[in-house]
Amino acid sequence: MQNDINICISRGRADFDVYVLGYSPEEWEHATLVLRRTGYQINISHKDEVVIDEKYSPNLQTKIPNGRTTQFVLVSSGGVNLPFNTQGITEPNNEDNDVRLRDLIVLVMRTFQNKRH
């Protein structure tokens, strides 16, 4: 996994397919989470819409719920909770790959954020 993280960091950008929780608790929407050296962006796939485009700040947090899960939560600099899920994203699809993808996303984001501040 460290090699994958290093590749993302050296490129200065990584795009990940994810699900983001929509306006209702049951409405997971397919999205692209774009991680860059300076910040991150969330694009809703079917709407071709940028939901968030923020620079990294010391207040940005990534949280992983307890237990074996494919979910993680971004707490934006404004305190907004953004739940994400990687379940069913990877090919070949299995839970191990989905959890690994979640870990890769969180570690790349934290690395970019730490290099920024």
Domain locations along the chain: 2-116
pTM (2 d.p.): 0.91
For tokens 């494919």, the residue is 70
Q: Over the chain, what is the mean pLDDT? A: 91
**Which pLDDT tens digit goes with each residue over 96-110?**
999 999 999 999 999
Q: At a CB cut-off of 8 Å and minimum separation 6, what does 87 contact?
A: 19, 70, 71, 95, 98
Q: How far apart are CA 66 and CA 27, in angstroms?
A: 22
8 Å CB contact between 111 and 102? no
2-116: CATH number: 2.30.29.140
Q: How far apart are CA 56 and CA 101, in angstroms?
A: 21
Q: So what's the pLDDT on residue 117?
A: 65
